[in-house]
Amino acid sequence: MTLVNAETGEIVEVLSERDARRLTERIRIAAANYTEAKAKVLALVDEAKAGQAHVALGYKSWTAYLSDVLSDEPLRLARDDRRELVVRLADEGMSTRAIAPIVGVDQKTVGNDLRATEELSSVEPPTVVRVTTGLDGRERTTTPRSPSRRALPDVARDLGIDLRRLTERFERLNADDRFVRNKNEVAAHLRHHLAHALKVLTDLEQEINSQEESTHA
């Protein structure tokens, strides 16, 4: 069975019901341990979307499928992990109402997570128009109210706190007695992200130092 992907216009081969059920069960199992298996969960979700698993299993929409598969038990995540997943699910077209039971918080918190992420992604927050697909399969377009811009020093302070916490997590990872025997797999997951983070932080440090030199000149 083939279908036309509504987003890309590509013709895709729909998974058989048997394969879709197997893939869905793998997603459920991996999602139960999301923090440690995050990359695996997201890769399986991509595979399910590409294979139109929701069509093979008779769901009204892709978002209805995600809501059912991922909400077996609310995921209890650290704030940063939760926000990352919230953004990913919103990008998949899920509404804040549908996302809330998956990440184990209320709808208001999901909305706050999205606004906080959008604010940190740009000094001048863009107007974001989201097309969400309800559990009934109907599409709705929403334009979130633009958040007021926080004072930049406050944003910098919070980023500094988050960076310190994240750095401490990396220190614990490096000190873990399992690190040596898992070094290659760890590197595969982190090398690109570390290189990007180092470049961004180095550029920021140079800009801060240049501003200080100009001030003292």
Size of the chain in residues: 217
Q: Rounded CA gap, 126 and 90, in Å?
A: 16
The model's pTM is 0.49
Closest alpha carbon to 97 in 119, 49, 64, 69: 64
Domain region containing 92: 2-142
If one counts the domains in the chain, the total is 2
Q: Which of 90, 123, 142 is the last residue of a domain?
A: 142
Q: Are residues 118 and 180 in the same domain?
A: no
Q: Are residues 114 and 14 in the same domain?
A: yes
Q: Which of 93, 113, 142 is the last residue of a domain?
A: 142
Q: Are residues 102 and 32 in the same domain?
A: yes
Give the model confidence (pLDDT) of 175-195 as tens digits.
999 899 989 988 888 888 889
Q: Which of 93, 112, 142 is the last residue of a domain?
A: 142
The pLDDT of residue 124 is 47
Q: Is residue 147 part of a domain?
A: no
205-214 burial, b if ≥16 CB within 10 A, otherwise e? eeeeeeeeee
Q: Are residues 122 and 28 in the same domain?
A: yes
Q: Are residues 75 and 120 in the same domain?
A: yes
**Burial classification of residue 195, based on how many CB atoms lie within 10 Å of its CB (0-12 exposed, 13-18 middle, 19 or more buried):** exposed
Give the model confidence (pLDDT) of 12-21 as tens digits.
678 888 888 9
